[in-house]
């Protein structure tokens, strides 16, 4: 049997990005050495690193490579060094362009509490132990992209600011389908959140989600909740949820709330998925850790590579059809934490503090034991 070769485009970015990406490269190499999968890797510049090299946050040449790849593995961008660059060239603009040009409309934000870290949460241990929820955020519509978006001078020292929350039926329908399909691979329950009591977009959201559910997804349990009540329930009894489906604005807020239930942002991966390509059957996809570029610890070998490695596991699951191996990476991470190894951001009394490479070594050793 000839093994398919998967093309991955790596964009390490700024700050700790290159360090944590280095650990993903080692995991990819392990897969190659084991003969489990074949990967063709290319690497580009994004964010401040791209700005320094050619005066823009991502080049057209690297965008073309991103378009052609089976998946993009993204590190982190930004840092005080680039605070004064033109707004359109700021490091984050590179990520926004990738999302926009690749039409990555579905943002998957898992909130998983590893057993060894249940004490790190700000909630009581029994509320979060074993937590595994997935927030699905619509990423290319809503109030962040709606027009008009402007501040106008009214005279007499007064101004008016306008942002526009806009959703069309097709945008709600396609994100709903992703939610129901994801739920089928988990505990088969979707809770859709909006503000239909005060927003017309919420009324339409509720209507279309309900309609799409009847189009072949009746096997999935669907419930609805107002987004503010959802925020309250997330910190009250988070384990009641499986997949939470919501729009761009509420998704931004609720996914950060859910992230902190886990105790460390440095532990969480994410995926942004686009439409299915009719030729290949694959979705355009970008995988990235939720954490930022942490310039204060960059280059010191201190960064936690777990979110970056877990993002690669998501890539195996959602882009490459290698769900079993994704599970093995996640098990290897959990086992490493069970052994008491911690990077500085998740350090606890009585545990052994390690750096980026040592954490990578330990995860690879656990993966080897599972192979």
Residues annotated as catalytic (active site), given as ranges: 144, 195, 228, 252, 256
User: Three-state SS for 150?
Assistant: strand
Cβ atoms of residues 314 and 326 within 8 Å = yes
Say which residues have a Cβ less than 8 Å from residue 34's Cβ, sequence separation at least 6. Answer: 371
Q: Which residues pair with 160 in a beta bridge?
A: 152
CA–CA separation, 124 and 145 (whole Å): 38
Q: Which residues pair with 246 in a beta bridge?
A: 137, 193
CA distances from 166 to 138, 195, 200 (A): 12, 14, 9
User: Three-state SS for 212?
Assistant: helix
H helices, E strands: number in the chain: 12, 14
Residue with tokens 């936690």: 304
CA–CA separation, 169 and 208 (whole Å): 7
Burial class (CB in 10 A: 0-12, 13-18, 19+), 53: exposed
Cβ atoms of residues 146 and 261 within 8 Å = no
């Amino acid at each position: 049997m000839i093994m398919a070769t998967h093309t991955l485009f790596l964009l390490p970015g700024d700050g700790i990005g290159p360090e944590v990406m280095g650990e993903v490269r080692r995991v990819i190499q392990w897969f190659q050495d084991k003969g489990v999968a074949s990967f063709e890797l290319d690497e580009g510049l994004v964010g401040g690193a791209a700005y320094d090299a050619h005066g823009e946050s991502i080049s057209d040449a690297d965008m073309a490579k991103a378009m052609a790849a089976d998946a993009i593995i993204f590190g982190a961008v930004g840092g005080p060094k680039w605070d004064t660059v033109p707004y359109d060239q700021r490091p984050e603009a590179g990520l926004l362009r990738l999302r926009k040009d690749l039409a990555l409309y579905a943002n998957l934000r898992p909130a998983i509490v590893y057993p060894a870290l249940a004490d790190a949460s700000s909630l009581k241990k029994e509320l979060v132990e074993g937590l595994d929820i997935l927030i699905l955020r619509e990423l290319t519509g809503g109030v962040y992209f709606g027009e008009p978006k402007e501040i106008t001078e009214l005279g007499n020292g007064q101004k008016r600011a306008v942002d526009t929350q806009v959703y069309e039926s097709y945008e709600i329908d396609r994100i709903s389908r992703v939610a129901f399909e994801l739920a089928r691979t988990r505990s088969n329950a979707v809770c859709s959140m909006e503000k239909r009591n005060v927003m017309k977009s919420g009324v339409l959201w509720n209507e279309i989600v309900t309609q799409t559910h009847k189009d072949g997804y009746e096997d999935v349990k669907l419930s609805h909740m107002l987004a503010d009540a959802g925020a309250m329930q997330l910190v009250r009894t988070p384990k009641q949820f499986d997949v939470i489906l919501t729009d761009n604005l509420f998704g931004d807020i609720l996914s950060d709330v859910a992230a902190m239930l886990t105790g460390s942002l440095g532990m969480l991966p994410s995926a942004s998925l686009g439409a299915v390509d009719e030729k290949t059957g694959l979705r355009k996809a970008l995988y990235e850790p939720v954490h930022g570029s942490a310039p204060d610890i960059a280059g010191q070998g201190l960064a936690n590579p777990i979110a970056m490695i877990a993002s690669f596991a998501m890539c195996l699951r959602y882009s490459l059809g290698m769900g079993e191996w994704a599970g093995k990476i996640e098990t290897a991470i959990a086992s490493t934490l069970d052994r008491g190894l911690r990077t500085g951001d998740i350090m606890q009394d009585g545990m052994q503090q390690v750096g980026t490479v040592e954490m990578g070594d330990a995860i690879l050793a656990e993966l080897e034991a599972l192979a």
